[in-house]
Amino acid sequence: MPSMSAEELFLPSTPGKFKDKSHSMQRQFHRCFASTSTMFLWALFLVALTAAYLSFVDSGSKYFNTAWGGIHWEKQVRASAQIHRTNGFSVLVTGAAGFVGSHVSLALRKRGDGVVGLDNFNNYYDPALKNARKELLNAHGVFIVEGDVNDAKMLARLFEIARFTHVMHLAAQAGVRYAMENPHSYIHSNIAGLVTLLEACKIAEPQPSIVWASSSSVYGLNEKAPFSESDRTDRPASLYAATKKAGEEITHTYNHIYGLSITGLRFFTVYGPWGRPDMAYFSFTRNILQGKAITVYRGKNHADLARDFTYIDDIVKGCVGSLDTAKKSTGSGGKKRGPAQFRIFNLGNTSPVTVPMMVGILEKHLKVKAKKNLVDMPGNGDVPFTHANISYARKEFGYNPTTDLQTGLKKFVKWYLSYYGYNHGNSVK
């Protein structure tokens, strides 16, 4: 006889069935609690059980999420946060198993900063790639905590263990078009997660300086080129862009009320080795090698779309430059003690390239001709072009991107082939 689920036991499929079951249950109940003293003992037992359960829940998610907590875990966090150079930083890097996060973590570690990573290893794209990045970081002495930026208890514990001087916040739900499929994941990571992190930073002693990833997508329907930080950003074209724009406003509030030093970075279509498989240059490479067709979007009147593709090493320099020039937060005890620094920088390459040209470069490096389907750009959050004005970042910390798309994609293809080979099948999303 098939067994019943808990819901099937207590919820009626028909009133008749429900009646029968409740009668037999009442009989059992009476048999069980035949006397008042037995009933009293049962009640006591239930109260004790509930109390034990509540204290179990309250003692932290470490009991439910074996990924954080415990003496060994704390030892790893402490060791990873250790600074190995004079006047070095101790940095919490969120999204450390991600594309930009892993590169930035490595760069900081290599120059002697303490780095603790945090990542939830979600399956937005192949987690095996995130794990491989994690292995790489581990080999360089960077420990990545497995956890979500929405986990306030875990964050509080991290800030207790390691007195971070800086937070490099790169954890986010990325991708412009995926926002139409899973809108709530953007609210969860890019808004709720950001606020949870800022709450933790606000009460941390000392308050860290924060550098975080905004996006070129905040320029939305802006048509004035190149995009300057002072241009309009109130017309986002995607929910992704809207959450990043919201992040800029939210961080301003925390800067204003609590004295947190905050720098937002508007990244322009970052690409390179260890990149994100959901991005066009990456998925195109996979499809070209597998002999599959790629879909190339076109804009109004069949105009080519263009992006200010920016190579990962240039972005890393921009992130490190931002950290190095970030002033200290001014708050303590959760209160502002003076005005604090608030900045927003474009980090782009300043030379947009059309998508068909990008495909041409890939064909050349892969030595394979792409099968192209040209399709009118669907109304899915895309914008026709991006183009960064980087003079502000240049003035503040000498930001100077030096890698053009030819060179950068050559390095990407080299990495791709060494990592996956020519024939890596369908294992990557």
Ligand X SMILES: O=C(O)[C@H]1O[C@H](OP(=O)(O)OP(=O)(O)OC[C@H]2O[C@@H](n3ccc(=O)[nH]c3=O)[C@H](O)[C@@H]2O)[C@H](O)[C@@H](O)[C@H]1O
Chain positions contacting ligand X, by CB under 6 A: 174-176, 215-217, 267-269, 279-280, 295-297, 305, 307, 355, 382
| Cα gap 272→103, rounded to integer Å | 10
What's the min distance (Å) between Cβ of 73 and ligand X? Answer: 31
CA dihedral 137, 138, 143, 146 (to 10 degrees): 90
Q: Please, what sign has the CA dihedral across residues 242, 243, 244, 245?
A: positive
Q: Which is nearer to ligand X, 227 or 397 (CB)?
A: 227
Q: Which is nearer to ligand X, 168 or 200 (CB)?
A: 168
- List the Cα angle 389/394/398 in 5-degree steps: 155
Q: Which is nearer to ligand X, 324 or 376 (CB)?
A: 376
Q: Which is nearer to ligand X, 108 or 170 (CB)?
A: 170
Q: Which is nearer to ligand X, 100 or 198 (CB)?
A: 100
Q: Which is nearer to ligand X, 354 or 391 (CB)?
A: 354
What's the min distance (Å) between Cβ of 135 and ligand X? Answer: 24
Q: Which own/partner pairs from 150-156 qualify as long-range (CB within 8 Å, at least 24 positions apart)? A: 150/188, 150/189, 150/192, 150/193, 150/196, 151/61, 151/65, 151/68, 151/196, 152/196, 152/199, 152/200, 153/60, 153/61, 154/60, 154/61, 154/68, 154/69, 155/196, 155/197, 155/200, 156/200
What are φ and ψ of residue 170, in 5° steps?
Answer: -120, -5
Active site residue 240: yes
3-class DSSP string for 301-350: HHCECEECCEEHHHHHHHHHHHHHHCCCCCCECCECCCCCCEEEEEECCC
- Token pair in block for residue 312: 């990962």
Q: Which residue in the block uniquely carries the two structure tokens 């900081």?
A: 108
Q: Which listed residue (178, 186, 219, 240) is catalytic?
A: 240
What's the min distance (Å) between Cβ of 405 and ligand X? Answer: 12
What's the min distance (Å) between Cβ of 295 and ligand X? Answer: 4
Q: Where is 131: in which H helix or E strand?
A: helix 127-139
What's the min distance (Å) between Cβ of 357 and ligand X? Answer: 11
| Cα gap 243→218, rounded to integer Å | 9
Which amino acid is it at 426?
Answer: N
| Cα gap 420→180, rounded to integer Å | 30
What's the min distance (Å) between Cβ of 228 and ligand X? Answer: 16
Q: What are the residue numbers of the active site?
A: 240
